[in-house]
Chains A and B, each alone.
Chain A
Amino acid sequence: MRQVNIPCGADLVQLYRQEVGDYPKFFKMDTLSRLGILLTERLVAGEPERFQPREDRAVLVFSREGCLANDRHYVASMEDFPSPSLFVYTLPNIVAGEISIRNKYAGETSAFVLEKYDEEAIFTLVRQAFLDPVTKSAVVIWADCADDTQWNARGWLVEREEL
């Protein structure tokens, strides 16, 4: 099982330039989605047929805080003029959607909130997601942002045979 992480406080724009470079939508994303895109890039870069649309790969995202870091930005915008571009990131599953769009994954996408980081609980849910017979692999993300500079971000690429 492939596992990656992004150190807390890393310069995400610099990582984007080094490791992605050709996906300018990145700049409109909140921190959570940026972390999801970068973690996925580290998991799947170099895969054969990388951007062929596929339904057999799920994207499962987990956190404690959900999207509260971005909710704070939206609340701030409400004082002045509520921002639709911030509002669309106030859902914990948007990061899964961004990963799907970038990588053309048309399989299951799900977002879960747990009381704490618990690898056993995460992988119990991951194994259960494979009850969908179409799902052959999954990008699994734990991305928990306290704010735009502090996070815990790690990812796994899980194949059905590995469980």
Chain B
Amino acid sequence: MRKVGIAGVGLVTPLGNRPADVLTAVRAGKSALALHPGFPEQYYASLLPREGACEEHFFEQVSLQAARMAVEDAGINPSDPSTGFVLSSIKGDIEHFGQNDVSLAYSAGNIARALGVQNPPIVVSNACISGLAALVQGMRMIRSGQYIRVIVVGTELQSPFIVTGFQSLKALSVEPCKPFDAHRVGLNLGEASAAMVLQADEGEWELVEGAIRNDANHISGPSRTGEGSYNALRAVLPHCDKKDLAFVNVHGTATVYNDEMEAIALSRAGLLDVPVNALKGYFGHTMGAAGILESILSMKALEAGVVLATRGFSELGVSFPVKVSAQEQKAAGRSFIKLLSGFGGVNGALLFRKGGSL
């Protein structure tokens, strides 16, 4: 089976667009979380600037911007017939509900065609693990021989639809979020687009193995035993030498239940001695972009030899002694695991490894 490498990356975030700049901002402890007027209730979120943007097509615009950056970084031609396209998003262009065709299929078609991709687009909309699931899908498309390369783009924009929904669930924090902290009170939402070009046998990074597992427990609450998250970890860990595992970049939404569930899953998987970090304190929860955005930041951090700090964390507030990286620390190892969980009981784990050229 062919190895799946990462040949290029692209970002559009409130902390900058060049991956190197975004890494610098994160290492300096910057956050784009700010208080915004609500509908009517105020909310903390990390939002993209919209000045000068075409409001009506903003979703497609930012997705294209990130995708083109990744395409250029990889030096590929998207019109090549062996190129696939996967969009990851939960709500897509929902802010224009009632005005445009806001289906994910319509947005994906427009983005794929604007890129010049010849093959039909696929949308992965698997709640908060969408970005990770889209990378797993891209990996499978290459391993199965369907495509040589796959452009994977994850984008989420915030709007009254999503903000009022999370407010109705009482899931939003009224202050900047505190992943894994004893005083955490909820999550912050975020906007971003993040893209990767996956390519057979190319790139300095390899997508080694990924797995998706369901809790089979509750549609909007995580499992009390961390079942799906643990099972996803259990599926990828045999592909990893633990001594080579630099860190686990967890979901860390800073809701009481998510972080506790992840701590249970990490404990069951025997990962309490591995550094853990969460990036929601910098970008908020970027939903369909999170899996790709947080993976890119984790890659760039490991290239710089560090485990990023968990902004917002100060005092451990989960039942197991998870090694949360409060401050930036030196990384030991060439691999990391990205972990995510979401509504519908879905959980995902994806193992990345840095090599030389594949």
Which residues of A are in contact with B by a Cβ distance under 8 Å?
53, 55, 59, 64-66, 68, 71-72, 74-75, 78, 81-84, 87-88, 90-94, 96-98, 100-101, 103-116, 118, 121, 124-125, 127-129, 131-132, 134
Contact = CB atoms under 8 A, between A and B. Distances in A.
A106 B215 CA distance: 6
A134 B91 CA distance: 30
A112 B104 CA distance: 10
Given A97-B346, A112-B124, A131 B215 contact: no
A129 B108 CA distance: 21
Contact of A129 (B140, B166, B345): B140
Contacts of B90: 91
A61 to B, nearest CB: 10
Contacts of A131: 140, 143-144
A88 B168 CA distance: 10
A132 B133 CA distance: 13
18 contacts: A53-B216, A55-B213, A65-B105, A71-B94, A71-B97, A82-B167, A82-B168, A83-B168, A91-B344, A93-B126, A93-B343, A94-B343, A97-B214, A97-B343, A109-B346, A113-B104, A113-B108, A115-B109
Contacts of A94: 127, 219, 343-344
B341 to A, nearest CB: 12
Contacts of B120: 114-115, 118, 121
B259 interface: no
Given A71-B94, A106-B216, 15 more contacts: A66-B104, A78-B160, A84-B168, A93-B344, A97-B344, A101-B216, A108-B214, A109-B126, A111-B344, A112-B123, A114-B123, A115-B105, A121-B120, A125-B122, A127-B144
Contacts of A66: 103-105, 125
A27 B182 CA distance: 38
Ranked 8 nearest A-B pairs via Cβ: A97-B344, A113-B123, A87-B165, A128-B140, A82-B164, A84-B168, A92-B125, A82-B168
B240 interface: no
Contacts of A53: 216
B287 to A, nearest CB: 10
B102 interface: yes
A108 B348 CA distance: 9
B218 A101 contact: yes
Interface residues of B, number: 53
Contact of A97 (B160, B167, B219): B219
A39 to B, nearest CB: 17
Contacts of B168: 81-84, 87
Interface of B: 90-91, 94, 97-98, 102-105, 108-109, 120-127, 133, 137, 140-141, 143-144, 146, 160-161, 164-169, 211-220, 227-228, 231, 235, 342-346
Residue in B91, B137, B213, B217 with the greatest tally of chain A CB atoms within 10 Å:
B213
B211 A132 contact: yes
Contacts of B161: 71, 74-75, 78, 90
A44 B220 CA distance: 25
A82 B345 contact: no
Nearest to A97: B344
A19 to B, nearest CB: 21
Contact of A106 (B97, B123, B125, B231): B231
Contacts of A125: 122, 137
A83 B217 CA distance: 22
B213 A88 contact: no
A17 B218 CA distance: 23
A125 B138 CA distance: 11
A132 B235 contact: yes
Contact of B141 (A68, A93, A96, A128): A128
Contact of B217 (A64, A90, A101, A118): A101
Contact of A101 (B126, B169, B345): B345
Nearest to A28: B219
Contacts of B219: 88, 94, 97-98, 101
A88 B125 contact: no
A109 B345 contact: yes
A31 to B, nearest CB: 15
Residue in B109, B146, B212 with the greatest tally of chain A CB atoms within 10 Å:
B212
A108 B211 contact: yes
A95 to B, nearest CB: 8
Nearest to A131: B140
